[in-house]
Structure 1
Amino acid sequence: MGRQNSKSISNLKKYLPLWVGLALAFGVLIGSKLNFNDTTQKIFATNSKKDKLNRLIDYIDYEYVDNVNTDSIVDVTVNGILENLDPHSVYIPKSEYAHNADDMRGAFIGIGVSFYIYKDTIAVIRPITGGPAEKAGIRAGDRIIYADGKKLFGELIERDSITNYLKGANNSKVALQIYRPSEHKKIDLKLRRKQVPLISVDASYKLTDDLGYIKINRFSETTYNEFKSALDALKDQGITKLVLDLRNNPGGYISTAERVVDEFLENNKLVLITKNKSGEINKTYATRRGDFEHGKLYVLINENSASASEIVAGALQDNDKGTIIGRRSFGKGLVQREMSLGDGSAVRLTVARYYTPTGRSIQRPYDKGTDTYYKDYEKRYRNGELIHADSIKVADSLKYVTPKGKVVYGGGGIIPDVFVPKDTSMENETIQYVSRSGFMSYFIFEYLDKNRLFFEGMNFEDFRTQFDVDDKLAGEFLEYAKFDEAHIDLSNYKEELKRTIKANIAQQLYGPNEAEIILNEKDPMILKVLELEDEGHLDDN
Structure 2
Amino acid sequence: ILSGAIQDNDRGVIVGRRTFGKGLVQRPFPFPDGSMMRLTVSRYHTPSGRCIQKPYVDGDDEAYQRDMIERYNAGELTSADSIHHFADSLKFHTKRLNRPVYGGGGIMPDRFVAIDTTMYSSYYRDLIAKGVINNFCVNYVDSHRAELKKQFKTDNDYVRGFDVTPEIMDSLIELGKKEGVEFKEDEYKRSKPMLEAIVKGLIGRDIFEQSTYSKVVSRFDPIFTEAMDIINSPERYNSYLTAGEK
> Is TM-score (shorter-chain normalized) higher than 0.5?
yes
Report the CA distance between 1:534 and its aligned residue. 3.6
Is 2:170 the counterpart of 1:475?
A: yes
Amino acid at match of 2:187: D
Percent of aligned pairs with the same amino acid: 36
**Structure 1: gaps spanning 5 or more residues:** 1-310
SS of aligned partner of 2:116: coil
SS of aligned partner of 1:452: helix
Partners in 2 of 1:410 and 1:437 — Cα distance?
A: 38
SS of aligned partner of 2:233: helix
- Identify which of 26, 36, 45 aligns with 1:336: 26
Partners in 1 of 2:2 and 2:126 — Cα distance?
A: 27
Partner of residue 386, structure 1:
77
Partner of residue 496, structure 1:
194
Report the CA distance between 1:394 and its aligned residue. 3.4
Partner of residue 418, structure 1:
111
Q: Taking structure 2 as the reference length, what is the TM-score of the superposition? A: 0.81
Partner of residue 443, structure 1:
136
Partners in 2 of 1:433 and 1:466 — Cα distance?
A: 29
Partners in 2 of 1:500 and 1:519 — Cα distance?
A: 6
SS of aligned partner of 2:120: helix
Partners in 1 of 2:191 and 2:156 — Cα distance?
A: 25
Amino acid at match of 1:518: V
Partners in 2 of 1:526 and 1:343 — Cα distance?
A: 47
SS of aligned partner of 2:211: helix
Q: Which shifted more, 469-478 or 497-506?
A: 469-478
Q: Within 5 Å, which residues of 2 pair with 1:296-315?
A: 311-315=1-5
- Count of residue pairs brought into register by the alignment: 230
Partner of residue 318, structure 1:
8
Distance 1:523 1:432, change over 3 A: farther
- Identify which of 362, 368, 371 aligns with 2:62: 371
Amino acid at match of 1:356: T
Amino acid at match of 2:86: A
Q: Is the 8 A contact 2:173 2:183 kept in 1?
A: no
Distance 1:433 1:503, change over 3 A: farther
Partner of residue 399, structure 1:
91
Q: Within 5 Å, which residues of 2 pair with 1:9-48?
A: none
SS of aligned partner of 2:41: strand
Q: Is the 8 A contact 2:26 2:41 kept in 1?
A: yes
Q: Taking structure 1 as the reference length, what is the TM-score of the superposition? A: 0.39
Q: Is the 8 A contact 2:121 2:190 kept in 1?
A: no
Distance 1:415 1:441, change over 3 A: same
Is 2:190 the counterpart of 1:522?
A: no
Q: Considering only CA atoms, is the larger Rg found in Structure 1 or Structure 2?
A: 1
Report the CA distance between 1:538 and its aligned residue. 8.6
Q: Within 5 Å, which residues of 2 pair with 1:104-143?
A: none
Q: Which shifted more, 360-369 or 320-329?
A: 360-369
Q: Identify, as 1 or 2, the structure richer in helix.
A: 2
Structure with more contact order per residue of length (Cα contacts < 8 Å, sep ≥ 6): 2
Q: Is the 8 A contact 2:230 2:237 kept in 1?
A: no
Partners in 1 of 2:237 and 2:70 — Cα distance?
A: 39
Partners in 2 of 1:387 and 1:405 — Cα distance?
A: 28
Q: Is the 8 A contact 2:121 2:187 kept in 1?
A: no
Distance 1:398 1:506, change over 3 A: same
Partner of residue 506, structure 1:
204
Amino acid at match of 2:138: F
- Identify which of 22, 47, 52 aligns with 1:357: 47
Partner of residue 241, structure 2:
none
Superposed CA deviations along residues 62-87 of structure 1, whole A, max 9, x for unmatched, are xxxxxxxxxxxxxxxxxxxxxxxxxx
**Structure 2: gaps spanning 5 or more residues:** 239-246
Distance 1:534 1:328, change over 3 A: same
Report the CA distance between 1:523 and its aligned residue. 2.5
Report the CA distance between 1:436 and its aligned residue. 7.9
Superposed CA deviations along residues 107-138 of structure 1, whole A, max 9, x for unmatched, are xxxxxxxxxxxxxxxxxxxxxxxxxxxxxxxx
Amino acid at match of 2:91: K
Report the CA distance between 1:423 and its aligned residue. 1.7
Distance 1:461 1:334, change over 3 A: closer
Q: Is the 8 A contact 1:355 1:361 kept in 2?
A: yes
Distance 1:538 1:408, change over 3 A: closer
